[in-house]
């Protein structure tokens, strides 16, 4: 316990905002509020403007304020126009800042002002429970946390957020699929401290359900039907919503494992992990040539989409390509995808082998299905494609056939050359593939790593595939 306290005290000194930074962030927030209000009025729209999120709740981290300003628009505005109108107002308010259009359920604007990143988000000025968009709940979330999260728990929420950032599971955006700031705050309210949250998750066993407002007391069966996810945190302002629905199972399990490791060996490294150093060209080449598996890379160029749309398309395509390999009898050990979100994205697949035997078994019906057996024999008894059989094995007919393709790179190229129609990739990825793609195998990727340091780090991490905390010393 003393070790944990010593570490958390050290971290709190780093992540608690100092007075000067508070003044800067508050001044920026209030100034932006006024600019957005003026831009709204110039558009003839009566909107309510308010700072939301971690700044409003005083749970922000000194190195990352997460300034969110919400434009609460009249409910009379059609749903299809919400994002368009919100973006127009936001762009005018942040006219002199670098701007990036983002997308959640609808578009919003990310702007960089005075050294800080600011999100300007449209929503409806909706009554509680009368949501027209997902972001309508946010002001109610802010009010709930400000009411329930006591002053002495603000630091605990900061610690949990920084811990999750350190182990790579913080953020509900599609790219990460992790824990939102609001979810972290709810967990601290539930358990009373960072260390108790960690202890609870370290004892994870199959399923976690938290219902702060007791909406489902004595209704556990109904709750299980409504929310089958392994982590369910009922939204205190909307009993029909699971705050943790965006958390991927893998990120939950990573939190469980990291929590256990932290309790065993408390270290500031969990909050500020050592920076990953990419393999040297020699080490990378040697690893790829000698690891015994086959690693295939599919690179595609620019995809015109905001990040959340891009990552949705990338993850969907990764799943489809993995299924494609497996349907063609290639065993996929692991897969991943990387993108710089600008002009290149890379799918990575580690396979047991690049090549397959020329012959494969093709199973027919069991003997008890007489009619199907007759059809099978009519088709294969005198078929020139059959290498061996038909013969009976374990009570069913089967034949051995020659494969159409025994090389995975050739198979993949054939399936995606037409833009991926035969591979199941997402539409925007298919368009990019149609313009240009490259298939690289094993050490072929080394030249690409020389030119792209961030991809080299990603690939090093993929190859090592070991949480940093397993290397921490006692």
- Per-residue pLDDT for 459 more than 90? yes
The answer to whether 266 and 7 have CB atoms below 8 angstroms apart is yes
Whether 4 is in a domain gets the answer: no
The answer to whether 160 and 149 have CB atoms below 8 angstroms apart is no
Query: Are both 421 and 332 inside the same structural domain?
Result: yes
- Give me the pLDDT at residue 294, please: 93
- Per-residue pLDDT for 324 more than 60? yes
Query: Are both 428 and 375 inside the same structural domain?
Result: no
Query: Are both 266 and 296 inside the same structural domain?
Result: no
Whether 412 is in a domain gets the answer: yes
- Give me the pLDDT at residue 385, please: 85
- Give me the pLDDT at residue 65, please: 87
E strand intervals along 86-227: 98-103, 107-113, 116-124, 208-210
pLDDT tier at 310, thresholds 50, 70, 90: very high
Between residues 417 and 188, the one the model is more confident about: 188
Query: Are both 128 and 250 inside the same structural domain?
Result: no
Between residues 304 and 23, the one the model is more confident about: 23
Q: 192-224 pLDDT, tens per residue?
A: 999 999 999 999 988 899 999 999 998 988 888
Q: Residue 58 sits in a domain of what CATH number?
A: 3.30.460.10
Return d(Cα 162, Cα 169) in angstroms, integer: 10
E strand intervals along 16-139: 48-52, 67-73, 98-103, 107-113, 116-124
Whether 72 is in a domain gets the answer: yes
65-92 burial string, b = 16+ CB within 10 Å, else e? bbbbbbbbbeeebeeeebbebbbbbbbe
- Give me the pLDDT at residue 64, please: 84
Query: Are both 259 and 330 inside the same structural domain?
Result: no
Final residue belonging to a domain, choices 219, 250, 270: 270
Coil, helix or strand for 308? helix
Coil, helix or strand for 218? coil
Q: Residue 200 sits in a domain of what CATH number?
A: 1.10.1410.30
Average of pLDDT values for 361-389?
A: 92
- Per-residue pLDDT for 474 more than 60? no
Query: Are both 340 and 363 inside the same structural domain?
Result: no
Q: 109-126 pLDDT, tens per residue?
A: 999 998 899 999 999 999
- The residues facing 100 across adjacent strands are 110
Whether 51 is in a domain gets the answer: yes
- Give me the pLDDT at residue 417, please: 83
Average of pLDDT values for 56-68?
A: 91
The answer to whether 94 and 109 have CB atoms below 8 angstroms apart is yes
Q: Residue 414 sits in a domain of what CATH number?
A: 3.30.70.590
Measured from the Cβ of residue 335, the count of other Cβ atoms closer than 10 Å reads 17
- Give me the pLDDT at residue 471, please: 87
Query: Are both 249 and 112 inside the same structural domain?
Result: no
What would the two tokens of residue 108 be?
A: 């919003």
The domain of 53 spans 16-135
Please name which of 87, 41, 45, 50 lies closest in space to residue 70, comparing C-alpha atoms. Answer: 50
Return d(Cα 232, Cα 307) in angstroms, integer: 26
Q: Residue 370 sits in a domain of what CATH number?
A: 3.30.70.1550
Query: Are both 244 and 337 inside the same structural domain?
Result: no
Whether 197 is in a domain gets the answer: yes
Between residues 101 and 321, the one the model is more confident about: 321
Query: Are both 247 and 338 inside the same structural domain?
Result: no
- Per-residue pLDDT for 420 more than 90? no
Final residue belonging to a domain, choices 104, 135, 166: 135
Whether 225 is in a domain gets the answer: yes
Q: 137-172 pLDDT, tens per residue?
A: 999 999 999 999 999 999 999 999 999 999 999 999
Q: How many independent structural domains does the chain possess?
A: 4
Whether 382 is in a domain gets the answer: yes
pLDDT tier at 419, thresholds 50, 70, 90: low
Task: State the average pLDDT for the chain.
Answer: 92
Asked if omega into 395 is within 30° of 0 (cis), the reply is no
Final residue belonging to a domain, choices 89, 113, 135: 135
Q: 242-268 pLDDT, tens per residue?
A: 999 999 999 999 999 999 999 999 999
225-251 burial string, b = 16+ CB within 10 Å, else e? eebebebbbbbbbbeebbbbebbeeeb
- Per-residue pLDDT for 104 more than 90? no
What would the two tokens of residue 366 be?
A: 């069991």
Whether 141 is in a domain gets the answer: no
Coil, helix or strand for 278? coil
- The residues facing 437 across adjacent strands are 300
Helix H segments across 111-168? 138-148, 154-167
- Give me the pLDDT at residue 305, please: 85
Query: Are both 160 and 178 inside the same structural domain?
Result: yes
- Per-residue pLDDT for 70 more than 70? yes
pTM value is: 0.90
Query: Are both 131 and 170 inside the same structural domain?
Result: no
């Amino acid at each position: 316990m003393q070790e944990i306290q010593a570490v958390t005290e050290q971290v709190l000194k780093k992540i608690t905002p100092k007075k000067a930074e508070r003044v800067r962030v508050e001044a920026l927030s209030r100034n932006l509020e006024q600019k957005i209000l003026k831009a709204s009025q110039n558009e003839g729209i009566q909107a309510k403007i308010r700072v939301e999120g971690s700044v409003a709740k005083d749970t922000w981290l000194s190195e990352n304020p997460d300034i969110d300003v919400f434009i609460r628009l009249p409910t009379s505005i059609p749903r299809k126009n919400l994002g368009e109108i919100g973006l127009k107002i936001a762009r005018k308010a942040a006219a002199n800042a670098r701007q990036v259009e983002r997308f959640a359920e609808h578009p919003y604007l990310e702007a960089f002002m005075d050294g800080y990143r600011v999100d300007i988000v449209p929503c409806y000025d909706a009554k509680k429970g009368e949501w027209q968009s997902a972001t309508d709940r946010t002001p109610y979330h802010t009010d709930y946390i400000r009411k329930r999260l006591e002053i002495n728990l603000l630091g605990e929420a900061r610690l949990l957020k920084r811990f999750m950032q350190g182990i790579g599971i913080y953020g509900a955006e599609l790219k990460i699929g992790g824990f939102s700031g609001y979810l972290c705050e709810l967990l601290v309210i539930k358990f009373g401290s960072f260390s108790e949250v960690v202890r609870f998750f370290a004892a994870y066993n199959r399923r976690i359900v938290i219902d702060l407002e007791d909406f489902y007391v004595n209704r556990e069966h109904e709750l299980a039907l409504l929310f089958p996810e392994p982590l369910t945190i009922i939204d205190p302002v909307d009993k029909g919503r699971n705050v943790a629905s965006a958390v991927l199972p893998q990120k939950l399990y990573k939190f469980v494992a990291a929590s256990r490791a932290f309790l065993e060996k408390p270290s500031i490294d969990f909050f500020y992990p050592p920076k990953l150093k990419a393999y040297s060209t020699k080490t990378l080449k040697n690893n790829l040539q000698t690891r015994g598996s086959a690693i295939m890379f599919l690179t595609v160029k620019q995809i015109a989409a905001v990040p959340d749309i891009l990552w949705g398309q990338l993850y969907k395509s990764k799943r489809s390509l993995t299924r494609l390999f497996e349907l063609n009898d290639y065993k996929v050990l692991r897969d991943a995808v990387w993108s710089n979100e600008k002009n290149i994205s890379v799918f990575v697949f580690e396979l047991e082998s690049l090549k397959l035997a020329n012959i494969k078994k093709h199973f027919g019906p069991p003997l008890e299905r007489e009619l199907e057996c007759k059809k099978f024999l009519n088709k294969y008894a005198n078929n020139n494609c059959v290498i061996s059989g038909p013969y009976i094995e374990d009570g069913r007919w089967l034949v051995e056939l020659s494969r159409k393709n025994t090389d995975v790179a050739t198979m993949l190229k054939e399936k995606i050359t037409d833009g991926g129609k035969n591979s199941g990739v997402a539409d925007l990825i298919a368009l990019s593939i149609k313009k240009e793609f490259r298939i690289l195998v094993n050490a072929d990727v080394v030249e690409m790593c020389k030119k792209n340091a961030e991809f080299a780090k990603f690939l090093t991490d993929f190859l090592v595939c070991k949480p940093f905390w397993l290397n921490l010393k006692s």
